[in-house]
Amino acid sequence: MQYDVIIVGGGPAGIFAALELAEKAKVLLIEKGRIIEKRNCPMKERNVQCVQCKPCSITCGWGGAGAFSDGKLTISTEVGGHLDEYIGETKLKNLVDEVDRVYLNYGAPEKLYTVDRKRLEQFKRDATKADLHLEYSPIRHLGTGRSQAVLLAMKDELIKRGVEIKTSLTVKRILIKDEKVTGVETDNGDFFAPKVIVAPGREGHNWFTKEASRLGLESDINPVDIGVRVELPKVIMEHLTDHLFESKYIYYSKTFEDKVRTFCMCPGGEVVAENNSGLITVNGHTHAERTTENTNFAILVSKNFTEPFKDPTKYGQYISTLANLLGGGVLVQRLGDLLDGRRSTHDRIAKSITRQTLTNATPGDLSLVFPYRHLVDILEMLQALDKVAPGVYSRSTLLYGAEVKFYSSRVKVSKNLETAIKGLYAIGDGAGITRGLMQASCSGIIAARNIIE
């Protein structure tokens, strides 16, 4: 039960930390979800409402939530987290390039979505005319399916190199003595190590926030992102997605000056539901081997809170709870019905040009879920996007809700991602340090290399 390093979480942050530490230390990696070969979702396989599997195989298990996402590697330092604040942009750029090569070695596709300067300048001009800011980054797209193959290859390599992996094991508490970490308490006994890397992922964010509070660790509050998943015919955005793959647009609403952004664009993809600690939220995937006639993406409104309420995560959970209360899970509404002030029905959605891919979503009225401010922000963003991709603001566009990103608390760490407790490191999305596959992977390397040194 004694190790040199214990890693809590088998997502990209934990995996890359383990890859770095393998053969240099006695390492135990603990993941509360299932091994990747056994991550099956009844909701997807039998097209039924969520049956509340514990833990959820979509958001939890070997590979983290990203195992079933469409696996975008953003080759940029400008998006996906805060690591530049800790190690600087130059070091982060080198680390991004290194992580990209590792993914290639484990089976990521060679193709990189890039765009020539002339076309990019035109895209940016069009965005500026629509009051949008276009963030461009080269994208390497793994795709759902290929992501799982890459993560499986990484697991096999870690086992081969001596890393002990325990799945379906839940860490309850981080063990501390004299302000130093000593190990972890699980539902199957205690495990000890002088170094513990906590990489809880989005699924483990609530647990780690509570643990950080219990241990007296200071945290900063990040904004919570709340919004909808937009679905429309693929042809509407093909002139963008064929070159950019993911179009990252930022908009500041005219009415409230709130920050609104597009996120996780999935050309030829499908809309999916996720179980986030009992709350059913919406997301999107693009598969590596098959496509649909649709494109989907999120529109997210970023909000922070000060006094007296300072818990953005609880606010996001409240919005998700409303959607679940009204629809028993994910709600879907035609944009035309939302504008007309009426709920969608199965008959009305059947008349839409857009064919619904999340077929077990419940037709309803999103105006009963989102505050007026959020709805105005979302509608303004759709109108702005319609200027760069005519057809976005169509009455047939489908809106699914709610989509919420739970990573609002960021624990304070050193430049090496070590907390105030000696030997305890916090990395990845669940610690609020990163917001995406690439920087999460980078954070694992940063922590591991500091331990090796």
Domain ranges of the chain: 5-112+139-220+409-452, 223-405
Work out the pLDDT band at 144, boundaries 50, 70, 90.
confident
Identify the CA nearest to 147 among candidates 81, 78, 69.
Answer: 69
Q: Pick the most confident of 27-36, 58-67, 89-98.
A: 89-98
Give the residues across from 184 on adjacent strands.
174, 191
Say whether pLDDT at 67 is over 70: no
Neighbours of 139 (CB within 10 A): 20
Q: Say which range, 178-187, 202-211, 247-256, 421-430, has the weakest mean pLDDT.
A: 202-211
Question: Token match 């088998």: residue?
Answer: 10
Q: Which two tokens stand for residue 64?
A: 């983290």
Supply the pTM of this predicted model.
Answer: 0.90
Check residue 307 and give its pLDDT. Answer: 78
Q: Say which range, 78-82, 167-171, 233-237, has the weakest mean pLDDT.
A: 78-82
The CA-CA-CA angle for residues 53, 64, 114, to 5°, reads 130
If residue 314 lies in a helix (H) or strand (E), which one and from where to where?
helix 312-327
Check residue 55 and give its pLDDT. Answer: 77
Say whether pLDDT at 362 is over 80: yes
Q: Are 436 and 78 in contact (CB under 8 A)?
A: no
Check residue 270 and give its pLDDT. Answer: 94
Q: Let me know how many helices (H) and strands (E) the chain has, helices first.
A: 13, 22
Neighbours of 253 (CB within 10 A): 20
Say whether pLDDT at 398 is over 70: yes
Q: Render 193-252 in DSSP notation, one character per residue.
A: -SEEEE--TTTTHHHHHHHHHHTT--EEEPPEEEEEEEEEEGGGTHHHHHHHSS-EEEEE
Say whether pLDDT at 47 is over 80: no
How is residue 351 annotated by DSSP? T
How far is it, in rounded angstroms, from Cα 396 to Cα 409? 37
How far is it, in rounded angstroms, from Cα 93 to Cα 121? 23
Q: Which fold has domain 5-112+139-220+409-452?
A: FAD/NAD(P)-binding domain (3.50.50)
Check residue 159 and give its pLDDT. Answer: 97
Q: Render 326-338 in DSSP notation, one character per residue.
A: HHSS-EEEEHHHH
Percentage of residues in the chain having pLDDT higher than 90: 77
Say whether pLDDT at 194 is over 90: yes
- Average pLDDT of the chain is 92
Q: Are 339 and 366 in contact (CB under 8 A)?
A: no
Tens-place pLDDT, residues 156-167: 999 999 999 999
More confident residue, 371 or 287: 371
Mean pLDDT of 236-252: 94
Percentage of residues in the chain having pLDDT higher than 70: 96
Say whether pLDDT at 319 is over 90: yes
Q: Which two tokens stand for residue 134?
A: 């276009």
Work out the pLDDT band at 407, boundaries 50, 70, 90.
low
